[in-house]
């Protein structure tokens, strides 16, 4: 809808939210959902060659059956790259979290403690020199490939220096495509 007095373009977004629904699925974000939505919309809009000024204005509707959004999925060829990155993330996350094999709680803290202990046993001093990232599977930012994880596993498997860490892996073989 165009406002001829100010020559601005207003984008109206419609969607359906069933009144009886008790759960709402949405992408996880540090910011609130409406801020996240505006950020995604702005990025897509600018990447498409458009311009956008201002911000959103929240308005509550009394009718819960009003259309909220209509989403069209990307083509498979576009989505495939993202899917492969996410599978790398999942692999890295599962390997990292499977390290504390005998712990009842499979979580980041136990995995981190095990890595620190193994490095200390093997006289690897890295404090104040390097930072160990949580891993792409935990942060959901792809910075590691499956080949990198595999080469790390092979290095651990071949060397006696990492024998305490080698015993922690719960898998027999890992295939990288």
Average pLDDT over residues 3-24: 56
Q: Are 118 and 169 in contact (CB under 8 A)?
A: no
Enter the tokens of residue 54.
Answer: 């201002």
pLDDT at 51: 78
Say whether both 129 and 152 belong to one domain: yes
Domain end, chosen from 72, 87, 102, is at: 72
- H/E stretch holding 2: strand 2-3
Q: pLDDT tens digit string along 46-100?
A: 777 777 777 776 666 666 666 666 656 566 566 666 666 666 566 666 666 666 6
Residue 88 inside a domain? The answer is yes
Q: What is the number of structural domains in the chain?
A: 2
CA dihedral 96, 101, 105, 109 (to 10 degrees): -40
Residue 173 inside a domain? The answer is no
Residue 177 inside a domain? The answer is no
Say whether both 134 and 113 belong to one domain: yes
115 alpha-carbon distance from chain centroid? 22
Q: Are 97 and 111 in contact (CB under 8 A)?
A: yes
Domain end, chosen from 48, 72, 96, is at: 72
Q: pLDDT tens digit string along 135-160?
A: 444 444 445 566 666 776 777 667 66
pLDDT at 114: 76
Say whether both 68 and 80 belong to one domain: no
Say whether both 80 and 156 belong to one domain: yes
Domain end, chosen from 26, 52, 72, is at: 72
Enter the tokens of residue 46.
Answer: 């600018």
Rounded to two decimals, the pTM is 0.25
Closest-CA residue to 115 (of 135, 132, 129, 93): 132
At residue 8, the 3 state secondary structure works out as strand
Separation of alpha carbons 154 and 146, rounded Å: 12
Say whether both 115 and 158 belong to one domain: yes
Q: Which domain holds residue 86?
A: 76-166
Residue 176 inside a domain? The answer is no
Average pLDDT over residues 5-22: 58
Say whether both 127 and 155 belong to one domain: yes
Closest-CA residue to 174 (of 146, 155, 139): 146
Q: Which residue has the higher pLDDT, 120 or 65?
A: 120
Please state, as a whole number, how many other Cβ atoms lie within 10 Å of the Cβ of residue 147.
11
Say whether both 80 and 59 belong to one domain: no
**134 pLDDT exceeds 50?**
no
């Amino acid at each position: 809808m165009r406002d001829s007095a100010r020559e601005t373009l207003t984008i109206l977004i419609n969607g359906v939210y069933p009144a009886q629904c008790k759960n709402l699925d949405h992408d996880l974000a540090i910011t609130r959902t409406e801020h996240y939505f505006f950020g995604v919309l702005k990025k897509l809009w600018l990447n498409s060659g458009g311009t956008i000024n201002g911000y959103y204005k929240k308005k509550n509707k009394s009718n819960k059956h009003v259309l909220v959004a209509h989403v069209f999925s990307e083509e498979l060829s576009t989505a495939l790259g993202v899917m492969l990155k996410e599978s790398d993330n999942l692999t890295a996350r599962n390997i990292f979290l499977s390290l504390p094999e005998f712990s009842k709680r499979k979580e980041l803290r136990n995995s981190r403690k095990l890595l620190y202990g193994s490095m200390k046993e093997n006289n690897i001093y890295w404090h104040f020199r390097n930072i160990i990232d949580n891993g792409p599977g935990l942060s959901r930012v792809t910075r590691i490939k499956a080949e990198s994880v595999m080469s790390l596993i092979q290095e651990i498997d071949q060397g006696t220096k990492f024998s305490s860490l080698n015993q922690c892996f719960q898998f027999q073989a890992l295939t990288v495509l």
